[in-house]
């Protein structure tokens, strides 16, 4: 059997593009579901005025090489101007142009640094109440995992039908 005028490069490029578009669509769905599932911390805008703050910590260690000596150091600067829904607004999809097919969903930034604490280890609010972990990224991704292969296959099959 011989195929004449097959245009292999065009067909394979179309298949690759369809697979990447489907994968991008899946990560976009993960991002949207994570924004929906993200916990919104209440009443933060009244409690924290905007700005940078740092703290000076002093204590006397009971063990170690500085045992019994007063120790004093300054902490790194932290952003204190939090508003309700800040974490939810930082959830974004990032595509690295230098690596084909590298789609990622991130939460948090240098000001909203507590996304991993809410996702994995839980957190304590200002009143001292501990809240258990509330995974929003991982659950969104796990909800899409079962659909990945079928969605990429359907995207590729629809592209093949239009090219072929």
Instruction: Give residue-wise pLDDT tens across range 82-94.
Output: 777 888 999 998 8
pLDDT of 132-155, one tens digit each? 888 898 889 888 888 888 888 888
First to last CA, the chain: 18
pLDDT at residue 79 tops 70: no
The Cα–Cα gap between 105 and 133 comes to 19
pLDDT winner (highest mean) among 55-64, 96-105, 117-126 = 55-64
Q: By C-alpha distance, which of 36, 44, 15 is closest to 125?
A: 44
Record the pTM: 0.66
């Amino acid at each position: 059997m011989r195929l004449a005028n097959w245009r292999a490069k065009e067909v394979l490029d179309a298949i690759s593009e369809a697979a990447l578009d489907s994968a991008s669509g899946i990560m976009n769905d993960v991002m949207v579901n994570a924004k929906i599932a993200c916990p919104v911390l209440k009443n933060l805008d009244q409690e924290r005025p905007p700005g940078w703050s740092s703290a000076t910590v002093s204590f006397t260690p009971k063990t170690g090489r500085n045992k019994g000596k007063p120790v004093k150091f300054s902490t790194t600067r932290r952003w204190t101007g939090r508003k309700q829904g800040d974490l939810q607004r930082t959830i974004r999809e990032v595509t690295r142009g230098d690596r084909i097919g590298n789609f990622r969903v991130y939460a948090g930034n240098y000001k909203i640094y507590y996304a991993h604490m809410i996702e994995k280890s839980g957190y304590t609010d200002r009143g001292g109440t501990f809240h258990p972990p509330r995974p929003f990224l991982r659950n969104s991704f796990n909800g899409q995992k079962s659909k990945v292969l079928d969605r990429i296959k359907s995207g590729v099959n629809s592209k093949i039908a239009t090219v072929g």
